[in-house]
Structure 1
Amino acid sequence: MDNVKALGGDVYEIDTRMAGFSGITAGYLILGDRPCLVETGTSTSAPTVIDALASLGVGPEDLATIVVTHIHLDHAGGVGDLARHYPNAEIVVHEKGARHLADPSRLMASARMVWGDKLDVLFGTLTPTDAARIRALGDTGSIDLGGGRRLDSHYSPGHAKHHVGLLDSQTGDLYVGDAAGVYLPETGDLRPATPPPDFDLQTALNSIKLFGDLGPQRLLFSHYGPVDDVTATLERSAEELRVWVDVTKQAHAEGLDLDHAVAMVRDRTRERYAALSTDDPETAERFELLSGAPSNVAGILHWLNKISPETPS
């Protein structure tokens, strides 16, 4: 299939074709004695993911584990659909996200407030998963991949309070979710992902440092794909966070509303991203969908208002 790519080490990247785009959200299948899917993509992507797994020889009875780095709908929106299709799969998530997979009503209501009518097109509906099938991880945990291979979970909030990074004991691959930002392979751009309500700068920087301390051989971004230059990429992740926060802090200190703050951040950061100066409008549109300035700035402002609520009149 043209949306499945072998990455070595029995790892396969699956383009979930989110909202009809290529290169938006990746799921990853780790094949072996106990096949494991990392990230489901959206609910509307579930048929695409099921077809991809079937093309790799993984049928409904074969999948052992479905694990998500966090419960945002572009990463976990397909959990309920895939849990139904793969009845033997254990569903693994951080403990702060587990109840939302069992009862997604609050999560979906919150997403509806943010996305409005776009919700159905972009994400679809997260359906409930039987709580008995969900394993909730603490700050660390381990997933058995079979043959002595395991996926070790490391709590990495900052982007979201229910976020984990996942390190493959055999390959050294680190599944970074959104904690290291959003990567665009065509241009090499890296942009932060700082949506409300959980973003916290120091927590996010600590998570990036933790990723470096784990000594991974490769970073596997959910948005999007594998990156071999681990140290430089994580340094860039931290730098991008600081740049966006510094500009947003200035807008906050000047008492600017969200729209004006977004305009200011876009103006100050535009030259950092080749995707925004490309002649291909779809690349720029995809980058904005992946890591939209309004969402990022809103998350930073939410954090700033918690730590420094007073702004000049």
Structure 2
Amino acid sequence: MDNVTPLGGDVYEIDTRMAGYAGITAGYLILGDRPCLVETGTSTSAPIVRDALTSLGVGAEDLATVVVTHIHLDHAGGVGDIAGHYPAAEIVVHEKGARHLADPSRLMASARMVWGDRLDDLFGTLAPTEAGRIRALGDTGAIDLGGGRRLTSHYSPGHAKHHVGLLDSATGDLYVGDAAGVYLPETGDLRPATPPPDFDLGTALDSVALFGDLGPQRLLFSHYGPVTDVPATLERSAEELRVWVDLTRQARTEGMDLDHAVAMVRDRTRERYAALSASEATADRFELLSGAPSNVAGIMHWLDRTDPAAGR
């Protein structure tokens, strides 16, 4: 299939074709004794993911585990649909996200407030998963991949309070979700992902540092794909966080409202990203993945919470 890419080590990247776009959101199949799907993509991507798994020889009874780095709909929106199609699969998520997979009503209501009518086209609807099939991870945990191979889970909030990174013991691959930002392979751009309501600079930087301490051989971004230059990429991730926070803090100190702050930060960061001067389609895709309005709003929310007396 043209949306499946072998990455070595029995790992396969699956382009989940979120909202019909290529190269936006990846799921990963670890095809071992106990096949494991990392990230499902959106609910509207579920048929695409199922077809990819079928092409790789994974039948309805074969998938052992589905694990998501966090419960945002571009990563976990398809969990309920995938769980229904693979009845033997255990569904693994951090404990702070588990209840929302069992009962997605609050999560979907919040998403509807953010995305409005675009929600259905971009993400679809997260179907509930039977609570008895969900395994909730604490700050660390392990997923058995068979043959002595395992994924270890490492709590990495900052982007979201229910976020984990996942390290493959056999390959050294680290599935970073959104905690290291959004990577665009065509241009090599890396941009932070700092949406409300959970963004916190200190914990975000701590998560990036933790990823470095784990000593991964390769970073597998959900947005999008593998990166082998691990130290430089994580250093850039931390730098991007600081740049966006510093600029948003400046806008807030100057009394700007959100719209003006977004315009200022977007203008001041434009030169950092080749994608924004590439084709219109590439620029639009980058903005959808890590939009300035969402990023600035998340940082503003954090500043309001941590430094309410300053600025506005």
Mapped to 1, the partners of 2:16 and 2:258 lie a distance apart of 32
Q: Which amino acid aligns with 2:274?
A: A
- In the alignment, the residues of structure 2 paired with residue 48 and residue 72 of structure 1 have an alpha-carbon distance, to the nearest angstrom, of 19
Q: What letter matches 1:292 in structure 2?
A: G
Q: Identify the residue that residue 90 of structure 2 maps to in structure 1.
A: 90
Residue in 2 that maps onto 1:299? 298
Q: Paired residue for 1:286?
A: 285
Q: Which moved more, 1:249-258 or 1:224-233?
A: 249-258
Partner of residue 186, structure 2: 186
Q: Render the CA deviation track for 1:234-275: whole Å, top value 9, x for unaligned.
A: 000000000000000001111111100000001110000000
1:272 equivalent in structure 2: 272
Q: CA deviation at 1:311?
A: 4.4
Q: State the match for 2:150 in structure 1.
A: 150
CA offsets per residue over residues 87-106 of structure 1, 9 Å max, x none?
00000000000000000000
Deviation, 1:308, is 1.0
Secondary structure at the counterpart of residue 204 of structure 2: helix
The within-5 A match list for 1:19-168 is 19-168=19-168
Alpha-carbon separation, structure 2, partners of 1:253 and 1:203:
23
Does residue 310 in structure 1 map to residue 301 in structure 2?
A: no
Which amino acid is 1:252 matched to?
R
| Distance change in 2, residues 1:254/1:166 (3 Å) | same
Q: Residue type of the partner of 1:272?
A: R
CA distance in 1, matches of 2:268, 2:97: 35
Return the alpha-carbon distance in structure 2 between the equivalents of residues 219 and 305 of structure 1. Answer: 32
Please give the secondary structure, in 2, of the residue aligned with 1:167: strand
> How much has 1:213 moved relative to structure 2?
0.1
CA contact (8 A) 1:254 1:311 kept: no
- Quick one: which amino acid aligns to residue 27 of structure 2? G
Q: Which amino acid aligns with 2:208?
A: I
Q: Deviations over 1:287-311 (max 9, x none)?
A: 0000000000000000000011134
- CA–CA separation in structure 1 for the residues paired with 2:101 and 2:271: 39
Question: What is the distance in 1 between the residues matched to 2:23 and 2:258?
Answer: 29
Q: Look up the equivalent residue of 1:298 and give its one-letter code.
A: A
- Other-structure match for 1:200: 200
- Note if 1:228 corresponds to 2:228: yes
SS in 2 for 1:310: coil
TM-score (norm: length of structure 1): 0.99
Q: What secondary structure sits across from 1:151 in the alignment?
A: strand
| Offset of residue 188 of structure 1 | 0.1
Q: In the aligned structure 2, how far is the partner of 1:227 from the partner of 1:32?
A: 22
Give the Cα–Cα distance (whole angstroms) in 1 for the partners of residues 172 and 163 of structure 2.
19
Inter-partner Cα distance in structure 2 for 1:158 and 1:265: 20
> Residues 187-236 of structure 1, C-alpha deviation per residue, up to 9 Å, x if partnerless?
00000000000000010000000000000000000000000000000000
| Contact 1:27/1:41, CA 8 A, preserved across alignment | yes
Q: Distance in 1 between matches of 2:286 and 2:161?
A: 24
Question: Which amino acid counterpart does residue 210 of structure 2 have in structure 1?
Answer: L
Aligned length: 312
Distance 1:140 1:128 in 2: 25
The alpha-carbon deviation at position 312 of structure 1 amounts to 4.7
**Unaligned segments of structure 2, at least 5 residues:** none
State the one-letter code of the partner of 1:210.
L
Q: Distance in 2 between matches of 1:277 and 1:50?
A: 35
Superposition misfits of 4+ residues, deviation over 3 angstroms: none
Q: Distance in 1 between matches of 2:269 and 2:122?
A: 26
Letter in 2 for 1:290: L
Gaps of 5+ in 1: none
Measure, in 1, the Cα distance between the counterparts of 2:255 and 2:66: 44
Q: Is the 8 A contact 1:255 1:311 kept in 2?
A: no
Cα pair 1:182 1:190 within 8 Å, conserved: yes
Determine the C-alpha separation between the residues in 2 that align with 1:241 and 1:311. Answer: 20
Percent pairwise identity = 86
Write the deviation string for residues 111-150 of structure 1: whole angstroms up to 9, x where unpaired.
0000000000000000000000000000000000000000
Instruction: Determine the C-alpha separation between the residues in 1 that align with 2:273 and 2:255.
Output: 27
